[in-house]
A and B are shown apart, each in its own frame.
Chain A
Amino acid sequence: MSVLPLLDIGLALLVVAVAAWTIAARNLFASVLGYVAYGLLLALVWVRLHAPDIALTEAAVGGGVTGVLLVTAGKRLDALKATRSGAGPGLRERIVAGALSALVAGALAFVVASLPTPAPSLAPQAAAAAAGPGAGLGNPITAVLISYRAFDTMLEKIVLLLAVLGIWSVGADDAWGSAPAPLRRARPDGAMVLLARILAPIGALIGVHIFWVGADAPGGAFQGGALLAAMWMVAMMARLLEAPRIGSRALRLALISGPAVFLTVGLAGNILAGSFFAFPPGFAKPLILFIEAFMVLSVAVALPMMVAGPPDGESKP
């Protein structure tokens, strides 16, 4: 009798328990911490399902970046609460919101439960395609992401850009073009500065490594970019680096470089290889690495800009 199934059941129960606790927690901060723990546990679940690529993404994005985003958002909400004390939602609003949430959850559960067995899957086509135009990549996940589902992957990055734009547009009119407020106003502790000084270079190296091995092993552009983003955020929290002005040309170029390069290569495929997003045979691997390098840059810049928030206006030149 192996202990692994028991561990799996324990892990699954733990995930459900932490999810329930996250919803039930009265305190916003506790709830966010619960969510981070939930993300890390989910990463373990993906490892157990033999999906290390997704586990890396979940740990970096679900556990790390989203956690920082939510903590920052929670802090801002607290600051708002101190200045404006409006009445919370009434009983009727709560009941309606609860009913709507239950309806959505119920509909989703119904759809998932009524899937036919075996579930419809594009996996065979995807695997075939990954062996075709994306050939030369040892990691089928990366091959599918960049060559079979190229359009989806590019649109995901555009969603990130739209999110950054939405956050920027929340700032005051006269603050446009200035830098976001620093992540913390006070002078950071020595321990934080030391952590950032030691961790940021190592983390950046690991981020580049994860991007580089992504062609042949678990890893890839998004995971590597998210790690680089996290290291930039650590440096910003220690005030070793300041958030750039949102009007900065370098920042804007870095943000759009991923989707722009992806689209350009995709359009070139129209002429050179006969169809949109087709890669000329023999050039697939260098082209994919080229696109992914810019994707890493876009992700590494977009995520910290989301956390940094809208322009502040105080540091206007």
Chain B
Amino acid sequence: MSVLADLFSLAAVGAGVFFFIAGTAGLLRFPDSLTRLHALSKADNLGLGLVVLGLIPRAENPLAALKLVVVWALVLLSGASTAQLIGRVLRRGRE
């Protein structure tokens, strides 16, 4: 059972790391701010989500697992809102 849980953690955290690396590559390589923002929000939302998912079986107790989920939810909230705010400033700059 613990081997299965470890394998699950490894797979989920690994997938999360992949999204972070992909997001960082996008941040460095994409041509303009809007696409870079797009790459970054993938890393935050999906990457962190998968890392949290992988860490949940390793949490000491259900409360700690819940805290991990809350951290992810807060990052989702702030990431989505700041992406909106930055995107809107960019569009205003273009007009």
Chain B binds chain A: yes
A→B interface (CB under 8 Å): 189, 191-192, 194-195, 198-199, 202
- Is B28 an interface position by the 8 A CB rule? no
- Is B33 an interface position by the 8 A CB rule? no
A194 to B80 CA separation, bound complex (whole angstroms): 11
Contact A194 B74 (CB under 8 A): no
- Is B85 an interface position by the 8 A CB rule? yes
Contact B84 A191 (CB under 8 A): yes
Instruction: Write the B55-91 contact mask toward A (1 if CB under 8 angstroms, else 0).
Output: 0000000000000000000100110111011001000
Counting contact residues on chain B (CB < 8 A from A), the size range is under 10
Q: In residues 24-78 of chain B, which contact A (Cβ within 8 Å)?
A: 74, 77-78
A194 to B74 CA separation, bound complex (whole angstroms): 13
A40 to B65 CA separation, bound complex (whole angstroms): 24
In the complex formed, the residue of B with least CB distance to A195 is B81
A198 to B85 CA separation, bound complex (whole angstroms): 16
| 20 pairs of residues in contact across A and B, judged by CB atoms under 8 Å | A189-B84, A189-B85, A189-B88, A191-B80, A191-B81, A191-B84, A191-B85, A191-B88, A192-B81, A192-B85, A194-B81, A195-B77, A195-B78, A195-B81, A195-B82, A198-B77, A199-B74, A199-B77, A199-B78, A202-B74
In the complex formed, the residue of B with least CB distance to A193 is B81
A195 to B77 CA separation, bound complex (whole angstroms): 7
By secondary structure, the A interface counts as helix
- Give the top 5 A-B pairs by smallest Cβ distance, nearest first: A191-B84, A195-B81, A191-B81, A191-B85, A189-B88
Chain B residues contacting A194 (CB-CB under 8 Å) are 81
CB distance from A6 to the nearest CB of B (A): 16
Chain B residues contacting A198 (CB-CB under 8 Å) are 77
Chain A residues contacting B74 (CB-CB under 8 Å) are 199, 202
In the complex formed, the residue of A with least CB distance to B86 is A191
Chain A residues contacting B81 (CB-CB under 8 Å) are 191-192, 194-195
In the complex formed, the residue of B with least CB distance to A188 is B85
A199 to B84 CA separation, bound complex (whole angstroms): 15
A191 to B91 CA separation, bound complex (whole angstroms): 15
CB distance from A79 to the nearest CB of B (A): 18
A24 to B15 CA separation, bound complex (whole angstroms): 36
Chain B residues contacting A199 (CB-CB under 8 Å) are 74, 77-78
Residue picked from B78, B80, B81, B88, most chain A C-beta under 10 Å:
B81
CB distance from B15 to the nearest CB of A (A): 19
Chain B residues contacting A191 (CB-CB under 8 Å) are 80-81, 84-85, 88
New contact pairs (16) apart from A191-B85, A195-B77, A202-B74, CB-CB < 8 Å: A189-B84, A189-B85, A189-B88, A191-B80, A191-B81, A191-B84, A191-B88, A192-B81, A194-B81, A195-B78, A195-B81, A195-B82, A198-B77, A199-B74, A199-B77, A199-B78
CB distance from A245 to the nearest CB of B (A): 29
A48 to B32 CA separation, bound complex (whole angstroms): 36
In the complex formed, the residue of A with least CB distance to B87 is A191
CB distance from A35 to the nearest CB of B (A): 18
CB distance from A248 to the nearest CB of B (A): 30
CB distance from A23 to the nearest CB of B (A): 23
Chain A residues contacting B84 (CB-CB under 8 Å) are 189, 191
Chain B residues contacting A202 (CB-CB under 8 Å) are 74
